[in-house]
Chains A and B, each alone.
Chain A
Amino acid sequence: DDKLLSEPLSHPDFFNVKELFSLKDLFDARVHLGHKKGCRHRFMEPYIFGCRLDQDIIDLDQTMQHLQLALNFTAHIAYRKGIILFISRKRQFCHLIESTARECGEYAHTRYWQGGLLTNAHIQFGPGVRLPDLLIFLNSLNNVFEPHVAIRDAAKMNIPTVGVVDTNCNPCLITYPIPGNDDSPTAMELYCKLFRMTIIRAKDKRRQSEVFSELR
């Protein structure tokens, strides 16, 4: 059982997440398009390549690195049978994210976030609740363009987070930020597709490894 869990950590890319996306895919999905210069968040400046006619363009080389790390982390969490929660507060993609979560066999929360969902879980849901082991933010802002409360709550409850950060977001508290566009439908479909494929791949690998270890 220990070997089952420790073996994937020795490979740099056990689940081969690099082959799921390429720079051209990111460009075609318009992941590099940011908001206007006035909306820029100070802490996003290292991830921005330049400013074309007042519109920020995100550096896709850095996005590739961050995306690879984030997908690798999610794959390992899914391999270890962790609970993953997708969060987004954009109504446009609420259905897409919920269906993605359903296909993965994981969970999604795309509605109003009540204050104590993570911090007051034992009273809201009852004793002995298992909190999610990973939160994936596909939009890290809520409807009033402020950072989603769940980012701060996850940091409080020592839960790692993966999040897509646009040029107007604060990437400080997100464990594995992915600088990229979070407004275009093509970009969101790409992210959902990537997360779905990694999680399904990781779960299949887990089932295979368990079968092999039982055979021995």
Chain B
Amino acid sequence: MAGNRMQKIGSVFSRTRNLLRIGVIKKPLWFDVYAAFPPLREPVYRVPRPRYGKVKDVIRPILYQEDEVRAKFYKVYGSGPRPFNLSQSNYKSTCQRFVEKFNELKEEGKIEEEKLFEETGKALLASGIILQRRGTDKVAQEDHQGVETRGSVLHLQLQTVLEEMQGKKKDQEEQTPELAETQKENPLPS
């Protein structure tokens, strides 16, 4: 039985058609169906070479107008107070409700542009959703205090260690006085 196993030349259909024309093969089952309903692209082999030179991204990014509001929301409040429930297809997250409220207030037009963000936050608070700011001030203060307390504790620990070492060195003074001095100097700058 003849056949054509060259998958890189032409498509399955073109090869079978040529074999049929010669007469070395019986008509296969799928031939008429393919001829009547061909695919949108003929399945010809193409070498999968990567793009070289200035690589252009051919695919456009999907962005919406509301993305600006969403970005600001996530920057200020972090991820919302309640987790996303993806099992419901009509689920509205806190961020989505915020965006809708923002658009409503924007369409009304009574509030200025700069204050719209705060006003939507207040409106959501009125309807019962509490938003916790992920603000920068609070975090910086906490860090500062933490560093101070940690610093003072470390300082105390260092002092006690130094005293112990000094005590030990006084005992060993007769044996190695020079080494003790170098040892005392080394931990101090660290």
A: residues with CB less than 8 A from B are 5-6, 9, 28, 40-43, 45, 48-52, 56-57, 65-66, 69, 72-73, 76-77, 80, 82, 119, 133-134, 152, 154-160, 170, 172-177
Per a CB cutoff under 8 Å, which of B11, B12, B43, B60 touches A50?
Answer: B60
A45, A69, A119, A156 pick with most chain B CB within 10 angstroms? A156
| A–B complex contacts, Cβ < 8 Å, 19 sampled | A51-B60, A52-B62, A66-B40, A69-B40, A76-B33, A76-B37, A77-B33, A133-B28, A134-B30, A154-B12, A155-B12, A156-B6, A156-B7, A157-B3, A158-B3, A158-B15, A160-B30, A172-B45, A175-B39
Q: Tell me the number of A-to-B contacts counted with CB atoms below 8 Å.
A: 96
Nearest 9 pairs between A and B by C-beta?
A: A155-B7, A50-B62, A52-B62, A156-B5, A76-B33, A9-B36, A175-B43, A133-B29, A82-B29
Per a CB cutoff under 8 Å, which of A41, A52, A80, A158 touches B4?
Answer: A158
Contact residues in B for A77 (Cβ distance below 8 Å) = 29-30, 33
**A interface: dominant SS:** mixed
* Smallest CB separation, B180 vs chain A (Å): 59
The answer for the CA separation of A2 and B150 in the assembled complex, in Å, is: 91
- Chain B contact-residue range equals 35 or more
Per a CB cutoff under 8 Å, which of A9, A41, A65, A133 touches B48?
Answer: A41
B15, B33, B34, B40 pick with most chain A CB within 10 angstroms? B33
User: Does B170 make an interface contact (CB < 8 A)?
Assistant: no
* Smallest CB separation, A87 vs chain B (Å): 16
User: Does B189 make an interface contact (CB < 8 A)?
Assistant: no
